[in-house]
Structure 1
Amino acid sequence: MKLITKHESKSKLKNLRFTKSILTIAILLSGINAIAQTEGEEKKNKLSISGSVDAYYQSYLSTSDDLDQSFGTAFAEQSGFALGMGNLIVSYEGEKIGAVLDLVSGPRGAAATFNSDIIDGIVNQAYVYWNVSEGTKLTMGRFNTFLGYEVISPAANFNYSTSYLFSNGPFSHLGLKADFTLSDDFSLMLAIMNPWDTNDVSTTGEYSLGAQIGYSGQYLNFYYDSGNYGGLGFEVDYTGGFDLSDSFFLGINGAYQTSDDQGFYGAALYPQLATSDSFSIGLRGEYFGYHSKDFDDLPSVFATTLTASYTIENLIIKPEIRLDSWSNVDNNEPYVNSKGEAANSLSAFTLAAIYKFD
């Protein structure tokens, strides 16, 4: 069985030629919005621009950097100095309606959009929404997935590298969803979408269904498609966390996926300690494995990632050490050690820099 995910292939930087046009569009939109706002007039509509830029240095501790290998999870696949992505989000918020255009450029953005769907992988999200009532919101377009603890943007994750649970699930969806605020604590989301990771046009005539039940920051997520044409099948996912003290937070993620009686399962804990307003340290401990009705003792991995986060104004510096160790690989080890021999474990040091702006 292949141990690495479909997201392991290195994405080529095809979309840098769009960067200049993105910035031009953003500047023009800002100018139009400024002109529309007369002095002293109450501002009912809002146009905003935000985003991030990230880069990193990575060196493998258990092998040579010149060997072409990675952990097998999404993003941060290079050794040496490497670019993450540039992210530009233009959003318009009216009294009841609005729109979001989320553009990405760089290897991380290309991998997140598979570099081949909407406009050569430059569009991460593009959707419109309507606040039908105080407790009901409709959204149509392309939006990032509701499954899982981690997200595409490194500015919103504590760990810079990503988990196996994140890498094996969907990144985005294209469809229609309805969000309902049932009370101060309860929420409900229902969605109909194209099948798993079909981010442009569904040519199969099939659709997927999604649901999310939320209670006080804890979320139970469901996804279903037929599993045909490379679909995901069925996945149930729990995402949440608890503030155990003013400075200590414990995040939790668990998921089970099946399609044609085979799939994956896993769980991850995210303990994080804030020692000051500018410095935090956190650990991601993840157990991930494959299952099948026809085979026993399929490969599984235990991955430990220790990350520190230091903030200077809008700049976040994240040093990180990661160790992944596989079991039940049956002489099909996924890595190579410094002697060029097959190995079932890989470790690396990563230093990431992330700048957020709004």
Structure 2
Amino acid sequence: MKKIFSLTLLLMSVVLTAQETEETEEKSFSLSGSVDAYYQTYLSAPDDAGASFGTAFANQTGFAIGMGNIIASYENGKVGAVLDLVTGPRGAGATFSNDIVDGIVNQAYVYYNISENTTLTMGRFNTFLGYEVIAPAANFNYSTSYLFSSGPFSHVGLKADFALSEDFSLMLAVMNPWDTNDTSFTGEYSFGAQLGYSGQYLNLYYDSGNNGGLGFEIDYTGGFDLSDSFFLGINAAYNDNDGSGFYGAALYPQLATSDEFSIGLRGEYFALHGDANNDESVLGLTLTGSYSVDSNLIIKPEFRLDSLTDADGGIYGNVIDNDGAAASSLSAFTVAAIYSF
């Protein structure tokens, strides 16, 4: 009898220990991030004349820093939270400097994995629109496109992600209006949807309070592996806000010449539409090399040339020549160093 009782206690101890171990293994904490810096000089304009492409980030000359960010993630079973903090000019530009705790909060959200196929997320998260992202470590080109720069960087709201099958996915979201990243005082909200199929995404955005008027955007983001070493990324978008907005398309061909080095081109056509915009457009060509020193450090030399339809000084930026006069093109050389951990 004593042996049976002892054996029962032993089995109960093993079961309890296994349960505690399983619960312990379900909890996880991770810390990641990146730091980047760059040198930039204009080839067709003086560095001290205030020339700029007008796209987001990397708009300084000489030596400059981009941003540093730290991402803390914690998961306990089906629930978790992510806090992404940024600092530096790129981080300030992504958070509008004074947005949420003096512009240091890039993302802050909690999530609940209701099932293997359904996840609810609430808080502030980076946008689902577009091909490029805020953190330079996740982009092939160091400078950013007009399509990326013209869209929202982040949203505050609630989204639901559904894995419909191995190939299909669906996301639905209700959020504060366009680039209203802290509190919505207007009582208006925006709605988003994303349909994914095998790495191709069709994104829809509707805003009932976008800068005081109705607005929407349709965006396609995707790409194809044309061979083991050649990838073609694609982005196209159309945006309208009460009769004015933008549209454009960008191709991202990228060739890996070795395990350490790749070269890629961003070819982008971008245009404004509407009576107030005079149908201005720009053709941007950005050639970027990407050399991995090791698994953490990447060096990116880059040449960029943007050509405008008219010598009007630029769509968003200040396009000038070496004499300081309004020009129809602007070129620059940049070399960036990005460290990820």
Q: Same fold (TM over 0.5)?
A: yes
CA contact (8 A) 2:269 2:283 kept: yes
Residues 231 and 43 (structure 1), Cα distance of their counterparts in 2 relative to 1, 3 Å cut:
farther
* Counterpart amino acid of residue 144 in structure 2: T
* Counterpart amino acid of residue 253 in structure 1: N
CA contact (8 A) 1:196 1:232 kept: no
Residue of structure 2 equivalent to 1:309: 290
Taking structure 2 as the reference length, what is the TM-score of the superposition?
A: 0.90
Distance apart, 1:144 and its partner CA: 0.0
CA contact (8 A) 2:189 2:209 kept: no
Residue of structure 2 equivalent to 1:240: 222
* Counterpart amino acid of residue 288 in structure 2: T
Residues 237 and 67 (structure 1), Cα distance of their counterparts in 2 relative to 1, 3 Å cut:
same
CA contact (8 A) 2:244 2:277 kept: no
Percent identical among aligned pairs is 73
Q: Secondary structure at the match of 1:112?
A: helix
Residue of structure 1 equivalent to 2:9: none
Residue of structure 2 equivalent to 1:274: 256
Residue of structure 2 equivalent to 1:321: 303
Distance apart, 1:69 and its partner CA: 2.0
Q: Secondary structure at the match of 1:155?
A: helix
Residue of structure 1 equivalent to 2:279: 298
Residue of structure 1 equivalent to 2:105: 123
Residues 137 and 178 (structure 1), Cα distance of their counterparts in 2 relative to 1, 3 Å cut:
same
Q: Secondary structure at the match of 1:127?
A: strand
| Unaligned residue ranges in structure 1 (runs of 5+) | 1-37
* Counterpart amino acid of residue 245 in structure 1: S
Residue of structure 2 equivalent to 1:356: 340
CA contact (8 A) 1:298 1:328 kept: no
Matches within 5 A, 1:11-26: none
Distance apart, 1:231 and its partner CA: 6.3
Residue of structure 1 equivalent to 2:191: 209
Q: Secondary structure at the match of 1:253?
A: strand
Work out the CA distance in 1 between the residues paired with 2:313 and 2:60.
22
Correspondence for 1:160 among 137, 142, 162: 142
Matches within 5 A, 1:85-104: 85-104=67-86
Distance apart, 1:305 and its partner CA: 0.1
Correspondence for 1:289 among 268, 271, 291: 271
| Unaligned residue ranges in structure 2 (runs of 5+) | 1-19
* Counterpart amino acid of residue 338 in structure 1: N
Residues 230 and 80 (structure 1), Cα distance of their counterparts in 2 relative to 1, 3 Å cut:
farther
Matches within 5 A, 1:188-267: 188-229=170-211, 233-267=215-249
Work out the CA distance in 1 between the residues paired with 2:257 and 2:271.
34
1:147 partnered with 2:148: no
CA contact (8 A) 1:211 1:223 kept: yes
Distance apart, 1:328 and its partner CA: 3.9
Distance apart, 1:335 and its partner CA: 1.5
- Deviations 1:287-342 (Å, cap 9, x if unpaired)? 000111x479611000000000000121000000000011045x455422111221
CA contact (8 A) 2:45 2:51 kept: no
Residue of structure 1 equivalent to 2:6: none
Residues 85 and 295 (structure 1), Cα distance of their counterparts in 2 relative to 1, 3 Å cut:
closer
1:106 partnered with 2:101: no
Taking structure 1 as the reference length, what is the TM-score of the superposition?
A: 0.86
- Deviations 1:175-195 (Å, cap 9, x if unpaired)? 000000000000000000000
Residues 219 and 173 (structure 1), Cα distance of their counterparts in 2 relative to 1, 3 Å cut:
same
Q: How many residues get paired?
A: 318
Work out the CA distance in 2 between the residues paired with 1:196 and 1:41.
40
Q: Secondary structure at the match of 1:43?
A: helix
What's the Cα RMSD here? 1.7
